[in-house]
Amino acid sequence: MADAFDPEAMVRRFRERALAVRKRPLPPVAGEERQAFIAQAQTDFMDFAMIGDAAISVEGGVVVLRIDTRPRPAGA
């Protein structure tokens, strides 16, 4: 599997998933169900976006994701 694994492709797929979550329409639900759906979509977007922004490498057969969680400077 290590020979076929493309880490950059994995990161690209997560970027695409983050965009898909952003574009996902709200289902016809109301009240608590609607709030739960929105909360889950926000969590999904954050998770996918973080991995999509990660610097990825394979070190000694281990996939390493580096995610900078520091606030970005204003205007960046």
Q: Using a cut of 0.75, tell me whether the model's pTM lies above it.
A: no
Could you report the per-residue pLDDT of 37-62, keeping only the tens digit for each? Answer: 999 999 999 999 999 999 999 999 89
Could you report the per-residue pLDDT of 2-44, keeping only the tens digit for each? Answer: 568 888 999 999 999 999 999 988 888 888 988 999 999 999 9
CA distances to 26, 30, 43, 62, 71 from 34, rounded to whole Å, are 8, 5, 14, 39, 30
